[in-house]
C-alpha cells in the first residue's frame, strides 16, 4: 500500500498533532456538483450508480479534484444492507428510499439473512478497492454504514417517516422482535464494515440518522447498544495504522457522554450542540467532528468565513477536531461557497495548531 | 365567571399543592377520535372547522366527555396569524399546510400587517368565548399560538420542509429582514394571546415546533428572543388568578436553562429529555409539562401504565408537573389506550402528592 500523503484527518481523529484542522463534508460527492449530476444521469437510477464501482469511484473523487478536502468517503447508500437482505430497495421520485417488502412480522425477522459482504454486497467492496487504488494515497478513505436502529426504521416503516409509528409500535409492543432485528443488523454491519476495511477503508463512520427520535432510555436500549456491539467487533488496525471509528447520532447532543463511552474514537456532532460544551463534556475520551449548519453555505462567503472562525474558536487550541457540516451538504448550494468554506477552515485554523 | 371546579392543572403549573398529577394531551381534540372525524367531515376542510366557533367548541369538548382530562385546549391551528396577515393558508392532501403567497422579499415583510385579534381573527376569539361558556368551569381552558420562528418557517418556506433552506438562507443572508418579520410576528402573537385571555383563556402555551432545528446561538437570536418578548408583553392575570404561560420548543432539551429564564411559568418537554434531569436543571424556576413518547400509546395498556409509573417516578415528589405526551397524539391511536393513559396518571400519581 502507498504511504498516505495527507494523514491530517486520521491524526486529528486520534488527537495527534496536526498543522491545521482537517475538513471534509458529509455528502461531498453529491447533487450540488454539476459533474456529479452528469455522471448520475449517465448511470440511470441512484442504485445503479452505487452498484457500478467505476462510476462510484468517479463521483467519490470529483469533490477532491475541486477542493483540498482531507478525506474521501465511499460513495454508497446506507440502505445497501437491507437491500442485500432481500427487502427490495427502490427510490421513488419525491418520496426518497422505499422497500418493496418491508418488515411486518416476527417471522420475516427470523428469516432475514446476514448478507455476505463479498457476495450480495461485493459491489460495495469493489467500489472501495477501486477508490482506494485511484486515490493513490492522497487522502484517507472513509467507509461507512447506517446504524442498526436507523436501518431498522426504514425496514419497518417501508421508507422515510415523520412519526416513526410502526417501528416504535414494534419497539414498545414486541421488544423481543425488535431486538432480534437489531441484533441481526449489528452483525451484518460489523461484517460489512470489516470487509470495507479489508478492501481498503482507512476510517469508519456509523450514521445514526434517527437515534435522536428516541428517549434516552430507548436510545440506549435500541440504538446505542447495537452501535456499541459493532464498535466492539470492528477491525481497528490496517496497514499498521489505527482505523478510527466515528459515531454520529443526529439530534443526539444530550447523550454525548454515553456515545463517547462506547470505545469509538470520535463523535459526529450536528449543529445544535456547542463544540466547546461538547469538548468539555467528553474530555480527552474522543475527538469531535462537526458542526456547521449546512444552511450556512447559503450565506455570502464573508459570512461563511466568519462562522468558520467562530466554530474554530469554540473548539479552541489543539488537535481532536475534524471540521465538517453538521449534516449533509444541501443539493442547491453553490459549489464556490463549499470551496470557500474548505479553504477558510484550512487558513483560519493554523493559529490553533502551533 | 363561574368558579373553577378542577384547577389542578393551573395549580401544578404554579407549583402549588395538588392531590394528583394533572394531565392533558397535545392534540387531544383530533383525528384519533371517531366523533372528531364525524364533525370534521361535516365541516368540510380543516380551516372551516377552525372558523366555526360552535364546531370548534364541539371538538374541543369531545375528549373531555370521554376522559377525565384536567384541561381543555382551544381547537385551532398555529397558522391562523399568517393566514390573517394575508398569506392564504390552505391544506393540500398529504402535504400539510401551504401558503398561496409565501414571503419571498423584504418588501413583503415590510408590508405585512399586524392582524386585529377581534377583526380577521375574531373567529378564534368567538371560539374561545363559546368554549369557555360551554366548559361551565369544569376545567381551565388553554389558549395558544405558534412561536414567531415557527410561524416564520411556514411563511418563508411556503409550507412544511425538511431542510429549512429558505428560512435559514434568510436568517444567515438577510438577518435584518428576518428580524423584522420575527418582530412583527412577536407583536401579532402578543396581541393575539392577550385577546384570547380577554375572551376567556385561563392559561397560555406557545408552540415552538421548529426552534430545535437551530444552533444554540441561532435559537437564542431567532426564536427564544421573540418568545421572551411575547412573555414580557402578556396579560398574566384574569379573574383574579395568574394566567400561566408554557413554552414548548420541540428538540429544545439542550436549552432548558435559557427557556426557563424568560419568565415563563412552565416548560413543555418532548420525550428526548429526562424529567429528573430537567427538574434538576431548572430548579424551582418553572414547572414542567410532559413527556411520554406519543408512540407509547401503541403499546399494550399494561406497558403504558408501566411507562406512566416510570415517568412519575422520574419527576418525583411534589407539585410542578403536568403530565402530557411529548408531542401530539397520533391519529391512529386507539382511544381506549388514551383513556387508560389518563386514568393511570391520576391513579398512580397520588402517592407523590401527600
Q: What is the pLDDT of residues A28-41, one digit of tens each?
A: 999 999 999 999 99
Residue among A151, A145, A154, A16 at smallest CA distance from A73: A145
Q: What is the DSSP string of A93-125?
A: TTTEEEESS---SHHHHHH-----TTTTTHHHH
Which residues fall within 8 angstroms of residue B13, CB to CB, at 6 or more apart?
B203, B244, B246, B265, B266, B287, B289, B322
For strand B141-146 and strand B72-73, is the pairing parallel, antiparallel, or unpaired?
Answer: parallel
Q: What is d(CA B38, CA A177) in angstroms, rounded to the nearest whole number?
A: 37
Q: How far apart are CA B284 and CA B293, in angstroms?
A: 25
Q: What pLDDT shows up at residue B93? A: 78
Q: Which helix (H) or strand (E) holds B249?
A: strand B245-249
Nearest Cα to Cα of residue A212 among A149, A287, A293: A149
Please say whether the beta carbons of A312 and B185 come within 8 A.
no
Cα separations in angstroms, A188 against A83, A105, A234, A314: 12, 20, 12, 38
At which residue does the C-alpha cell 429526562 appear? B274
Sorting pLDDT into bands at 50, 70 and 90, what band is A320? Answer: very high
Yes or no: say if B33 and B335 are a contact pair by the CB < 8 Å rule: yes
C-alpha span between B289 and B261 (Å, rounded): 16
Torsion of CA B23, B25, B26, B30, to 10 degrees: -150
Residue among B64, B39, B41 nearest B54 (CA): B39
Per DSSP, B144 falls in state E
Q: C-alpha dihedral over B98, B101, B102, B106, to 10 degrees?
A: -170
Q: Residue A45: what pLDDT?
A: 87
Q: Are B206 and B146 in contact (CB under 8 A)?
A: yes
Shortest CB distance from A251 goes to which of B214, B218, B251? B251
CA–CA min distance A9, chain B (Å): 25
Q: Radius of gyration (Cα) for chain A, nearest Å? A: 19
| Angle between helix B165-173 and B148-157 (nearest 10) | 110
| Contact partners, residue B145, CB within 8 Å, separation at least 6 | B78, B81, B189, B192, B193, B204, B206, B207
Containing B20, the helix (H) or strand (E) segment is: none
> Is B312 in contact with B349 (CB distance < 8 Å)?
yes
Q: What percent of chain A has pLDDT over 70?
A: 99
Option in A215, A303, A332 nearest B271 (CB): A215
- Measured at the CA of B256, the angle between CA B148 and CA B76, to 5 degrees, comes to 40
Closest CA to A315 of A348, A337, A341: A348
Residues in contact with A205: Cβ distance below 8 Å, sequence separation at least 6, in sequence order: A73, A142, A143, A144, A245, A246, A247, A248, A268
φ and ψ of B248, to 5 deg: -130, 105
Task: Sheet with A245-249: list strands edge to edge.
Answer: A72-73, A141-146, A203-208, A245-249, A266-268, A287-292, A321-325
Confidence at residue A49, expressed as pLDDT on a 0 to 100 scale: 96
Chain A residues with CB-CB distance to B293 below 8 A: 168, 214-215, 218
Q: What is the predicted ipTM?
A: 0.96
Antiparallel, parallel or unpaired: β A203-208 and A241-242: unpaired
Q: How wide is the angle at C-alpha A249 spanned by C-alphas A235 and A290, nearest 5°? A: 90
- Output the nine-digit C-alpha cell for B187: 407583536
In angstroms, the CA B334 to CA B311 distance is 21
CATH code at A8-352? 3.20.20.210
Residue with cell string 435559514? B168
Q: Whole-angstrom Cα distance, residue A205 to residue A147?
A: 10
Does residue A77 carry a catalytic annotation?
yes
What dihedral angle (degrees, nearest 10) is formed by the CA atoms of A237, A238, A239, A245?
A: -80
Cβ–Cβ gap A273/B293 under 8 Å: no
- Using pLDDT thresholds of 50, 70 and 90, give the confidence band for residue A1: low
Backbone φ and ψ for A33, nearest 5 degrees, come out as: -95, 125
Is there a contact between A215 and B172 if contact means CB atoms under 8 Å apart? no
CB contact under 8 A, B172 and A253: no
Tell me: the pLDDT tens digits for A165-180? 999 999 999 999 999 9
Model confidence, pTM: 0.97
Q: How far apart are CA A321 and CA A7, in angstroms?
A: 14
Contact between A337 and A297 (Cβ < 8 Å): yes
Residue B1: what pLDDT? Answer: 55
Q: Are B153 and B164 in contact (CB under 8 A)?
A: yes
Q: Which residues are CB-neighbours of B117 under 8 A, at least 6 positions away?
A: B124, B125, B191, B192, B194, B195, B196
In chain A, which residues touch B (CB < 8 A)?
Answer: 163-165, 168-169, 172-173, 212-216, 218, 251, 253-254, 271-274, 293, 295-296, 298-300, 303, 330, 332
Catalytic residue among A9, A20, A36, A154: A154
The whole-number pLDDT of residue A92 equals 81
For this structure, is A126 an active site residue?
no
Q: Which residues contact B313 (CB under 8 A, 6 or more apart)?
A: none
Task: Tell whether the torsion through CA atoms of A148, A151, A155 and A158 is positive or negative.
Answer: positive
pLDDT band at A73 (very low <50, low <70, confident <90, very high): very high
pLDDT of residue A2: 65
Q: A122-135 and A175-199 helices cross at what angle (nearest 10)? A: 40
All residue ranges of chain B with pLDDT < 70 are 1-2
- Distance CA(B228)–CA(B233), nearest Å, equals 9
Q: Which residues of A111-148 are buried (b: 16+ CB within 10 A; e: fewer)?
A: ebebbebeebbbbbbbbbbbbbebbeebbbbbbbbbbb
**With contact defined as beta carbons under 8 Å apart, do B15 and B351 qualify?**
no
pLDDT at res. B95: 78
Q: Which of A272, A292, A326 to mutate to test the interface with B (most CBs of B within 10 A)?
A: A272
What are A98's strand-pairing partners? A90, A159
CA distance B309 to chain A (A): 15
Domain boundaries along the sequence of chain A: 8-352
Minimal Cβ distance to A254: which of B273, B293, B296: B273
Tell me how far apart the alpha carbons of residues A106 and A176 are, in angstroms, rounded to a whole number.
Answer: 9
Partners of residue B268 on adjacent β-strands:
B248, B289
Q: What residue has cell string 397524539?
A: B329
Residue B45 confidence (pLDDT): 87
Contact in structure between A170 and A99 (CB atoms under 8 Å): no
Q: Enter the C-alpha cell of residue A311.
A: 466554530
Count Cβ atoms below 10 Å from residue B204 Cβ, excluding itself.
26
Other C-beta atoms lying within 10 Å of the C-beta of residue A222: 24
Q: What is the pLDDT of residue A339?
A: 98
Q: Helix (H, G, I), strand (E, B), or coil: what is residue A203?
A: strand
In contact, A23 and A342? CB cutoff 8 Å: yes
In chain A, residues with a C-beta closer than 8 Å to the C-beta of B172 are 295-296, 298-299, 303
* A243 vs A312: CA distance, rounded Å: 25
Nearest to B169 among A215, A216, A295 (CB): A295
Amino acid at each position: 500500500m502507498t504511504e498516505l500523503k495527507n494523514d491530517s484527518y486520521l491524526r486529528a481523529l486520534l488527537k495527534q498533532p496536526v498543522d491545521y484542522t482537517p475538513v471534509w463534508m458529509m455528502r461531498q460527492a453529491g447533487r450540488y456538483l454539476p459533474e456529479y449530476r452528469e455522471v448520475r444521469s449517465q448511470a440511470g437510477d441512484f442504485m445503479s450508480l452505487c452498484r457500478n464501482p467505476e462510476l462510484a469511484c468517479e463521483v467519490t473523487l470529483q469533490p477532491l479534484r475541486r477542493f483540498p478536502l482531507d478525506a474521501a468517503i465511499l460513495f454508497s447508500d446506507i440502505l445497501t444492507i437491507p437491500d442485500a437482505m432481500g427487502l427490495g430497495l427502490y427510490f421513488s421520485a419525491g418520496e426518497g428510499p422505499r422497500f418493496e417488502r418491508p418488515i411486518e412480522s416476527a417471522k420475516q425477522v427470523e428469516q432475514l439473512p446476514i448478507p455476505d459482504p463479498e457476495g450480495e454486497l461485493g459491489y460495495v467492496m469493489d467500489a472501495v478497492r477501486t477508490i482506494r487504488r485511484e486515490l493513490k494515497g492522497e487522502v484517507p478513505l472513509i467507509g461507512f454504514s447506517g446504524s442498526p436502529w436507523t436501518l431498522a426504521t426504514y425496514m419497518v416503516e417501508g421508507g422515510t417517516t415523520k412519526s416513526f409509528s410502526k417501528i416504535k409500535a414494534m419497539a414498545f409492543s414486541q421488544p423481543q422482535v425488535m431486538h432480534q432485528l437489531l441484533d441481526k443488523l449489528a452483525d451484518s454491519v460489523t461484517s460489512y464494515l470489516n470487509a470495507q476495511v479489508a478492501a481498503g477503508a482507512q476510517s469508519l463512520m456509523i450514521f445514526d440518522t434517527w437515534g435522536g427520535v428516541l428517549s434516552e432510555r430507548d436510545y440506549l436500549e435500541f440504538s446505542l447498544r447495537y452501535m456499541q456491539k459493532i464498535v466492539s467487533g470492528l477491525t481497528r488496525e490496517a496497514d499498521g495504522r489505527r482505523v478510527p471509528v466515528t459515531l454520529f447520532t443526529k439530534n443526539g447532543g444530550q447523550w454525548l457522554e454515553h456515545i463517547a463511552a462506547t470505545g469509538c474514537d470520535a463523535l459526529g456532532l450536528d449543529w445544535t450542540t456547542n463544540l466547546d460544551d461538547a469538548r468539555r463534556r467528553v474530555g480527552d475520551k474522543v475527538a469531535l467532528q462537526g458542526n456547521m449548519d449546512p444552511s450556512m453555505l447559503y450565506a455570502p462567503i464573508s459570512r461563511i468565513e466568519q462562522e468558520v472562525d467562530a466554530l474554530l474558536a469554540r473548539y479552541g487550541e489543539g488537535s481532536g477536531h475534524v471540521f465538517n457540516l453538521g449534516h449533509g451538504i444541501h443539493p442547491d448550494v453553490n459549489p464556490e461557497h463549499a470551496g470557500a468554506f474548505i479553504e477558510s477552515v484550512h487558513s483560519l485554523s493554523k493559529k490553533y495548531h502551533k
